[in-house]
Amino acid sequence: MNRTIVETTRERIKPVNRELMQQAQARLDAKTKPPGALGRLEEFARRMVAISGTGSPDTSKKVIYTFAGDHGVTDEGVALYPKAVTTQMVYNFLAGGAGVNVLARHVGAEVRVVDVGVDNDFGDLAGVIHRKVARGTRNFAKGPAMTREEMLAAITVGIDLAEQCRVEGIALVGTGEMGIGNTTPSSAIIAAISGKAVRDVTHRGTGIDDDALELKIRVIEQGLAINQPDSTNPLDVLAKVGGLEIAAIAGLVLGCAANGIPVVIDGFISTAGALIASELHPNVADYIFAAHRSMEIGHSFMLERIGVEPILDLNLRLGEGTGAALAMSLIEAGVKTLNEMATREQAGVTHE
């Protein structure tokens, strides 16, 4: 059997450079501050050094990929907003008016919009990265969301973009998504992988009421019962109950790990993609910065399973890459303290 790009990418992932990490901490400890006094900013700085393999990482090039895709499972009434909003928001991203555009500008990051599965023909619309695999997934309450080929094609989109980031010298990559209904497959993924009750990992998405939440839980339970995803096979879970944009995020995270690029994952849906990547290789987590803890109740279980601690806790529940943008600024701040703070020796501060 031909080896897939997922397998060859997976095999390139190495542990991060622990020696460089220790050297970075020693440099931080020589700065004009008590040891450890910059708290998690020090963690961000030493991890950025270890991931990138450079002593003084340059964080000026920051890119957020916002992957858009539609979901057949919206036929079941699991989302508050109509599917058409996915397409409308793509135009909003291009016009620079969405939440992620504002927050990315705020931190000096570029937003790149990728159509991996929107149920709309954008033609050759400028400003979009056109990598459509299908016009949305199928309804996973009735059968698999994707074929194995579609799932692999969507992962490949993310892997290709990570390769391009290495060529471009992007210092920090962020993940984002837009896809009406996509909290439903995200809950299905964590339920399938962790074995937790669907009720314990399913929440209100854009703001559904109690009745719609009960329906959403039943739809996910039905989807898991019909598709029987193999909890030990993350790609099987992804194909059966995932989404095209979630697969692309899994590929981007995997590709960043393979290329030594730090990747900032956004909220619930992005973390579902990162979870798939993390289940594929134990060292993927070393390359991940978890931007924030989402309001979705299943998010903490995902973060715990990956083994990452969120940077922010701001009651965010938007997605798009909004939290990733904000967290990038703190990661960059940590790196700047390493690059720019004076040592005690340089400043003539004589305490030990």
Ligand X SMILES: Cc1cc2ncn([C@H]3O[C@H](COP(=O)(O)O)[C@@H](O)[C@H]3O)c2cc1C
Q: Contact positions toward ligand NIO, by CB under 6 A?
A: 183, 205-206, 266-269, 294, 296, 317-319
Query: What is the footprint of ligand X within residues 53-112 (CB under 6 A)?
Result: 79-81, 85, 89
Q: Record the tokens describing residue 292, joined without a space.
A: 């924030």
Q: Is residue 321 a contact residue for ligand X (CB under 6 A)?
A: no
293, 300 contact by CB (below 8 A): yes
Q: Is residue 303 a contact residue for ligand X (CB under 6 A)?
A: no
Task: Using CB under 6 A, pick the residue from 69, 72, 179, 234 that binds ligand X.
Answer: 179
Residue closer to ligand X, measured from CB, 44 or 93: 93
286, 254 contact by CB (below 8 A): no
Q: Is residue 120 a contact residue for ligand X (CB under 6 A)?
A: no
C-alpha–C-alpha distance, residues 10 and 107, integer Å: 31
Residue closer to ligand X, measured from CB, 38 or 180: 180
Cα–Cα distances in Å, from 5 out to 129, 145, 149, 174, 195?
20, 21, 12, 22, 28
C-alpha–C-alpha distance, residues 305 and 109, integer Å: 29
Whole-number minimum distance, CB 88 to ligand NIO, in Å?
15
Whole-number minimum distance, CB 176 to ligand NIO, in Å?
9
Residue 336 parent element (H or E): helix 322-340
320 catalytic per annotation: yes
Whole-number minimum distance, CB 265 to ligand NIO, in Å?
10
C-alpha–C-alpha distance, residues 186 and 174, integer Å: 18
Partner from ligand NIO, ligand X, none binding residue 89, C-beta < 5-8 Å depending on class = ligand X
Per the DSSP assignment, residues forming a β-bridge with 174 are 64, 264
Partner from ligand NIO, ligand X, none binding residue 268, C-beta < 5-8 Å depending on class = ligand NIO
Whole-number minimum distance, CB 12 to ligand X, in Å?
30
From the number of C-beta atoms within 10 Å of its C-beta (0-12, 13-18, 19+), residue 3 rates as exposed
| Contact footprint for ligand X (CB under 6 A) | 79-81, 85, 89, 177-184, 205-206, 318-320
Residues known to be catalytic? 320
